[in-house]
Amino acid sequence: MIVAIYLVAIVSANLSILYFGPAASIFNAFFFIGLDLSLRDHLHEKWKQNLKRNMALLIFSGSGLTVLLNLEALQIAVASAAAFGVSSALDSWVYHFLKNEKYLVKSNASNAVGSFSDSLIFPVLAFGGFPWLIILGQFIAKWAGGLLWSYLIYRYDSLPRRPVSLSQ
């Protein structure tokens, strides 16, 4: 389920950039990319053994699905894969470095680094030039979205689970 949500978010973000242009990038940064950065941290906990391989497959799957849905999104998909590849690696390094900290500390510190690197790489590759207002806006929105999503994921994971019985 987490993988499906991750893919829907990244494909939605990529295609909305294609359809609505750079103006959609701030909205995407908060809702979709902040979510994906936080889900990446959640997956870090689940995929400890195969994290690098699984994240690479997930990133390339998101870009591949984007292009399959609309070939005109190729440049955006490539920019997305490059930005997510670098930001995921840096995010993972910070998250692992802080492995003894509480989840919200690890997640939000690594999201700050991931947000910064993604916000530098994606707009430059997707839009060309150095659109500093978009870079700044994306960074703030991704980091703020990451704060919100990491908290919601943490709260969801903290909910008590009751076994489901078919006889009920």
Express each pLDDT in 117-163 by its tens digit.
999 999 999 999 999 999 999 999 999 999 999 999 988 877 665 65
H runs (alpha helix) in the chain: 2-20, 24-28, 34-46, 51-69, 74-97, 103-127, 132-158
How many structural domains compose the chain? 1
Looking at residue 49, what is its pLDDT?
83
State mean pLDDT over 38-58: 88
Residue range(s) defining the domain that contains residue 79: 2-158
Does 80 score more than 60 pLDDT?
A: yes
Q: Is residue 16 part of a domain?
A: yes
Q: Is residue 163 part of a domain?
A: no
% of the chain beyond a pLDDT of 70: 94
Looking at residue 31, what is its pLDDT?
93
Q: Is residue 58 part of a domain?
A: yes
Q: Is residue 166 part of a domain?
A: no
Looking at residue 163, what is its pLDDT?
58
Looking at residue 148, what is its pLDDT?
95
Q: Is residue 142 part of a domain?
A: yes
Mean pLDDT of the chain: 90
Write the CA distances from 158 to 81, 85, 93, 151, 152, integer angstroms.
31, 29, 25, 10, 10
Looking at residue 166, what is its pLDDT?
53
By C-alpha distance, which of 100, 105, 91, 99 is closest to 150? 105
Lowest mean pLDDT among 39-43, 70-74, 146-150: 39-43
